[in-house]
Chain A
Amino acid sequence: MDQLTTVTSFNGPLKNDVQKFVQSTLQKELDKSTYDHNDAQLKSNKICDSILKHLTTQNKNFKFIVNCLLMQKAECGLNISGSCFWDNETDGSLTIKHETEAIIGIVNVFACAL
């Protein structure tokens, strides 16, 4: 765990650690709940904040951006794309999707090295 605080590249053990944390956060928040328009704002804020808090306590060598999309499961098409202009060796991104019966949650994490 200590090793992760000093890494300078996002691609590697830090990415795996972040992936596990994001997956467990999404599972915890979204499983066994239905899409409620009033609640969804709070829920997505909570997911973003808890992921960001975990990231910043893990490693201070990066600037982080966490993006969360919560969508009601319906018969509609959805396309998402990202384009990044950065240093490929040190910077990186992660996209995690979690689907339940009623909600689809997609989280993007972008990390830019300082």
Chain B
Amino acid sequence: MEENQNLEENTYSQEEVDRITQESIESVLKEVQYDESKVQGWINAICEKVTQQLIELGKPYKYIVHCMIMQRNGAGAFVTTSQWWDTVADGQIIISWPKDKQAKQEQQKNTLHCICSVFAVSMI
């Protein structure tokens, strides 16, 4: 029983990180239109919110939160990542917001696109 508990405490939970990132992005970017003067503030807010909540999880991990906000103009873009780490203990989440279904439901003229990547690197 003790061994299982230790394992849980020392590995990070993919669902938890996913939830934290989604909620942080939603809370900052819900119903906003792209505004050049405000974007810097939003992006810093997202990064700080996510990092804060990740630290509160109290797991033995180092975190890297990378956030990108792009104005929707029809331009193409590709994001790729490669990692050299421990595939068992370390992990990543990449969230693209908004998901297309969401945009259609809300009938919102989406003027921006946000891609947020969270990398968790184990310290043990």
Choose among A70, A76, A85 the residue that contacts B54 (Cβ–Cβ < 8 A). Answer: A85
Besides the contacts A69-B77, A86-B121, what 17 more A-B pairs have beta carbons closer than 8 Å? Answer: A41-B80, A48-B80, A52-B84, A62-B84, A63-B86, A67-B81, A68-B81, A71-B77, A74-B74, A76-B70, A76-B72, A77-B34, A77-B71, A78-B70, A82-B64, A83-B47, A112-B121
- A interface with B by C-beta (< 8 Å): 35, 37, 40-41, 44-45, 47-49, 51-52, 55-56, 62-87, 91, 93, 108, 110, 112
**Total number of residue pairs linking A and B with CB closer than 8 Å:** 141
> Considering only CB atoms, which chain A residue lies closest to B112 in the complex?
A77
Choose among A70, A75, A91 the residue that contacts B78 (Cβ–Cβ < 8 A). Answer: A70
- B interface with A by C-beta (< 8 Å): 34, 36, 39-40, 43-44, 46-48, 50-51, 54-55, 62-86, 90, 92, 117, 119, 121
